Amino acid sequence: RMASTSSTPEKIAEKVEESIKKAEEACAGDPQTGECAAAWDEVEEVSAAASHARERQKESDPLENYCKDNPETDECKTYDN
């Protein structure tokens, strides 16, 4: 079993897990129903949201974030010339 990704926000990670469980239940009787397809569609939607959230988190650089709020500090000052 693979370890869970620490980078996915907890709230979304829980949603993914929960939606998969629900989809498996919804499809237990008949996998051809609309309810089953809708349930797996929700899994896809939440998984995509999780991936986007991970992407956003990866992009955020701690120093860049700090410098947005504190552009006047020594470590953030930049001059064009």
Partner 1 sequence: MAICAVYTTNSLHSTCFVPTSTKTHLGFHQRQVFFYTSGKKTRKSSNFSEISCSAGDANTVVIGLAADSGCGKSTFMRRLTSVFGGAAEPPRGGNPDSNTLISDTTTVICLDDYHSLDRTGRKEKGVTALDPRANDFDLMYEQVKALKDGIAVEKPIYNHVSGLLDPPELIKPPKILVIEGLHPMFDPRVRELLDFSIYLDISNEVKFAWKIQRDMAERGHSLESIKASIEARKPDFDAYIDPQKQYADAVIEVLPTQLIPGDNEGKVLRVRLVMKEGVKYFSPVYLFDEGSTVSWIPCGRKLTCSYPGIKFFYGPESYFSNEVSVLEMDGQFDRLDELIYVESHLSNLSTKFYGEVTQQMLKHADFPGSNNGTGLFQTIVGLKIRDLYEQLVADSKATAPLQATKA
Compute CA 76 distance to the chain's CA centroid, rounded to the nearest angstrom. 29
What's the first-to-final CA gap in the chain, in angstroms? Answer: 54
64 near partner 1 (CB under 8 A): no
Kindly tell me which residue out of 25, 52, 65, 71 binds partner 1, with binding defined by CB under 8 A.
52
Proportion of the chain in helix, strand, coil states, percent, rounded to 5: 65, 0, 35
67 near partner 1 (CB under 8 A): no
The C-alpha atoms of residue 12 and residue 72 are separated, in whole angstroms, by 36
Segment interacting with partner 1, rule: CB under 8 A, options 44-52, 62-70, 71-79: 44-52
21 near partner 1 (CB under 8 A): yes
Would you tell me which residues interact with partner 1 (CB under 8 A)? 2-5, 8, 11-13, 15-18, 20-21, 23-24, 27, 31, 33-52, 55
